[in-house]
Homo-oligomer: A and B are copies of this chain.
Amino acid sequence: MTDSVQLLGISNAIVDVLAHIEDDFLERIGAVRGSMTLIDKDQARELYGKMGPATEMSGGSVANTIAGFANLGGTAAYIGKVKADQLGTIFNHDMRSLGVDIRLKAAADGPPTARSHVLITGDGQRTMQTYLGACLELGLVDITAETVGSPKAILLEGYVWDIAEGPQLAKKAADIARSNGTAVALSLSDSFCVERHRDSFVQFVREDADIIVADEEEVNALLGTTNFDETLEALDGYDNLFAMTRSEKGSVIVHGDERVVQAATPVEKVMDTTGAGDAYSAGFLYGWANDRPLDECARFGTHCATTVIQQLGARIEPGLIDDLEAP
């Protein structure tokens, strides 16, 4: 399939199960505040049994970026594995309703659609316990010239490396992309994920990725650096385009000799920082896909992230870029 979408996401397709918890709940289940932990089916069942009433909505890091990219007016497609169950139906519905072209059929058999138990403490911080379920079934067989097509870029997430065939399917997707003149972008997901797969990530960044979107901690974990000056120095050895978010310090884009420093926009009240990085990626890549200069891409990313942290929930609403483009 040749196609004309701008961005294809390849990632873990996850439904979020959000619940407010008491502060001591994390201690009782032995979870580290603010972390994302992978759990198996039995642990998922046990955790859900202990949780209070929850709200369900489509989630997943790069899936959120793809949804945001589509909402900004970009054309997008998506590869991720859900089962043909109710949560899988919800996930695919939500993506399709934004105009995202879903490239894989939901699986008739196998484990259920993945869910991430998002435990929200009183201060708004989120701790995630994720059961990958059907995501783990994503395999080399799903990555073909037909499903990848020839978008302007593909966007992979680090969490894909948690899948058995993840590193190989990422490589295969990158090879198909290269043969089509498609750019390869990688979101580093989280610093623990980078630690889990560091060598493989470094190799992928060296050999396959054109664009890296990540926060400062993730880049530090990748490069083995401990502060941002060291990071910038270490990046001299890379020719990728790095778009790095630094929370209230804004973001920094590095591409060879080119550097863009974008300040954060001050906000009155941060409601919920979940999805800020994913939203930044959506805005940044929307600018990139539309051939905007890097400083404008950084402004788009910042605008999306600033909007998302002032609302509850990780996804950005339609029409956001219109505000930005208005004089």
Please list the residues of chain A having a beta carbon within 8 angstroms of any beta carbon in chain B.
48-49, 51-58, 67, 85-87, 90, 93-94, 97-98, 112-113, 315
* Nearest-neighbor residue (CB-CB) of A91 within chain B: B53
How many copies of the polypeptide does the oligomer hold?
Answer: 2
Picked from B54, B67, B93, B98, the residue with its CB within 8 Å of the CB of A48 is: B93
**Contact between B85 and A51 (Cβ–Cβ < 8 Å)?**
no
15 chain-A/chain-B pairs, Cβ below 8 angstroms: A48-B93, A51-B97, A52-B98, A53-B57, A53-B58, A53-B98, A53-B315, A54-B57, A55-B55, A55-B56, A56-B56, A86-B86, A86-B87, A86-B112, A86-B113
In the complex, the chain B residue whose C-beta lies closest to that of A313 is: B55
A85 to chain B: which residues have CB within 8 Å?
85-86
In the complex, the answer to whether A90 meets B315 with C-beta atoms within 8 Å is no
Q: How far is the CA of A94 from the CA of B20 in the complex (A)?
A: 12
CA distance A206 to B239 in the complex (A): 82
CB distance from A124 to the nearest CB of B (A): 15
A113 proximity list for chain B (CB < 8 A): 86
Complex contacts, A49 vs chain B, CB 8 Å: 93
Measured CB to CB, the nearest residue on chain B to A56 is B56
Known: A48-B93, A93-B48. A67 touches B86 (CB 8 A): no
CB distance from A234 to the nearest CB of B (A): 39
Which 3 A/B pairs are nearest by Cβ-Cβ distance? A53-B94, A86-B86, A56-B56
Residue of B nearest to A17 (CB): B90
Question: Which residues on the B side are within 8 Å of A53 (C-beta)?
Answer: 57-58, 67, 93-94, 97-98, 315
Residue from the set A86, A87, A94, A113 with the largest chain B CB neighbour count within 10 Å: A86
Kindly list chain B residues whose C-beta atoms are within 8 Å of the C-beta of A55: 55-57
Query: In the assembled complex, which residues on chain B have CB atoms less than 8 Å from the CB atom of A51?
Result: 93, 97
Q: Are B112 and A54 closer than 8 Å at their CB atoms?
A: no
CB distance from A25 to the nearest CB of B (A): 12
Q: Which residue of B lies closest to A16 (CB)?
A: B55
Chain B: which residue is nearest A57 at the CB level? B55
Q: What's the nearest-Cβ distance from chain B to residue A302, in Å?
A: 23
Give the residue name and chain of the B residue nearest to A52 (CB): B97
Provide the bound-state CA to CA distance between A315 and B53, in Å: 10
Q: Which residues in B have their C-beta under 8 angstroms from that of A112? A: 86
Q: How far is the CB of A252 from chain B (nearest CB, A)?
A: 31
Contact A56 B90 (CB under 8 A): yes
